[in-house]
Amino acid sequence: MKSAYLLDTDWVIDFLNGRQETVEKIRELKGYGLALSLVSLAELYEGVYYSREPEESERKLEDFLSGVEIVALEDGICQTFGRERGRLRKERILIGDFDLLIGATCLYHNLTLLTNNTRHFERIHNLRIVSLPKKKKTS
């Protein structure tokens, strides 16, 4: 694994939608290596196929993915997932399985997660997270 960061689905969506803070941060971190879990890729393709312009959405996603390492699921990730899911179940603070698989991928490969969904991911022990400040609403 040559990457240092794993992108969560929300960051890719924000990048594709041109959110300035996300675009700048991804460009800044690209030299350190960016990766994407197959789980996030599946979520992104759902968005592509149910968008108003599926062909254009797919083209944009594929352009983005050209500089990103795709991380498959493997036994070690599944073991990490099982250990963390059991701990979270015991503590009664479960999170969604997709988020937990993404977090387990980070732990197994020693990656830092780029996400703004800190409410769920901060429940995973020893997971390093980078998030961006929420945009302030102007009235």
- 49 in a domain, yes or no? yes
Can you give the CATH number for the domain in which 114 is found? 3.40.50.1010
| Average pLDDT score, the chain | 95
Instruction: Please tell me the distance from the alpha carbon of residue 115 to that of residue 121, in angstroms, as a whole number.
Output: 8
- 38 in a domain, yes or no? yes
- Report CA-CA distances (Å) from 56 to 59, 68, 107: 5, 19, 34
- 137 in a domain, yes or no? no
- 101 in a domain, yes or no? yes
Report pTM: 0.93
pLDDT of residue 2: 86
- 136 in a domain, yes or no? no
- Looking at residue 15, its amino acid is F
Strand partners, 6: 35, 113
- 33 in a domain, yes or no? yes
The model's pLDDT over 98-136, given as tens digits with 9 standing for 90+, comes to 999 999 999 999 999 999 999 999 999 999 999 998 765
State the total domains in the chain: 1
- 138 in a domain, yes or no? no
What is the span of the domain harbouring residue 47? 5-130
pLDDT-based confidence at 139, cuts 50/70/90? Answer: very low
Average of per-residue pLDDT across 64-87: 97
